[in-house]
Structure 1
Amino acid sequence: MANTNADNAFMAGSDNDTLYLGPAGTDLSSVTALDSAIPEALTDCGWITDDGIIIGFDDSVDKIRGHQGHGVVRTYMSDSSTTFKASLIEQKLRLLTDYMSGESQAAEGGGEVTITAKASRQVVRMAAVADMFDVSTGRHRRYVMPIVELGERGDQEFQVGSLTVLECNLEIIGDYKLISNESGLLAG
């Protein structure tokens, strides 16, 4: 009989799931545990669509074949990258300004803001932390990504009966960390 444990399955979507984004160069070296404080430079992105957060692994493997029987002798990773995707519902100044590759200026008195956006966007380098909690066990996963780049953006749609969303497709640059207290991961 198989040795199964449903507590080892992870289901995100709790009320506490949070994505934090901030400027490149934000020092995340103090974020070493699940209860480490999030640096103030990072913005809590707020509501995320029910599509959730997606960490994508884009890998291509090439096969080296031998002469005898044209069998596979070795394989090697010819292309590999990791993406982090989330569609943000809340419109916050720093996030929208980065999304539009723009610059913002608040009017005197604080009643208005103007974002001057570029018609051709640029890649925006950022830092990110994502906290996800299992909805039934409360176990916690924290992804710490010192360098992500916002490149491809989705369309901003303004339609009756739907929310305007910022589709963030972030490329993870360099190493990132996963910190967790999940029992299945602690068991080794």
Structure 2
Amino acid sequence: MDFLELAAKRYSVRKFKEEKVRREDLDKILKAGMLAPTAHNDQPQRILVINSDEALEKLKKCTACHFNAPTALLICSDKDACWTRKYDGKKSYDIDAAIVTTHMMLEAASIGVGTTWVMHFRPQVVREEFALPDNYEASAMLMMGYPAPDAEPYPGHFEFKDEKELVFYNEF
């Protein structure tokens, strides 16, 4: 399957089998995150695997959007380890985290692991429940597992805006 086929096929899975993501699949997904490009190749991502029963209960305190996933990733960034644009002081960590999360999400889809990217979480609760260091910023959660047989895309998933609304050449 080529990249565009993979991108078109992938959808946010909100119903999972109870089985935790197998270690060999998890390792591939994590490797994709480690191979992801980051600004200046500083690699500020810090990824917490959440797959014990205790950690999954903590996760449920952080977000209603856990979908009872048997495995999750908490994608954080070390704000002290990222690149900073000199012109305006913008730090790259959120962009880096988004690239890393996307790589892992697409690798998961390529091996049959369903995911849902979640940003709807309570940052302070995440910080407390998972003891994030002060210099870590939680950017995203990736709920994951093997899709339940009756899992299906959200009703509007395959509706896309016209290219004319999204793509411009040389001027807006």
Answer 1 or 2: higher relative contact order, Cα 8 Å, separation at least 6: 2
TM-score (norm 2): 0.28
- Taking structure 1 as the reference length, what is the TM-score of the superposition? 0.26
Query: Bigger radius of gyration, 1 or 2?
Result: 1
Structure number with the higher helix fraction is 2
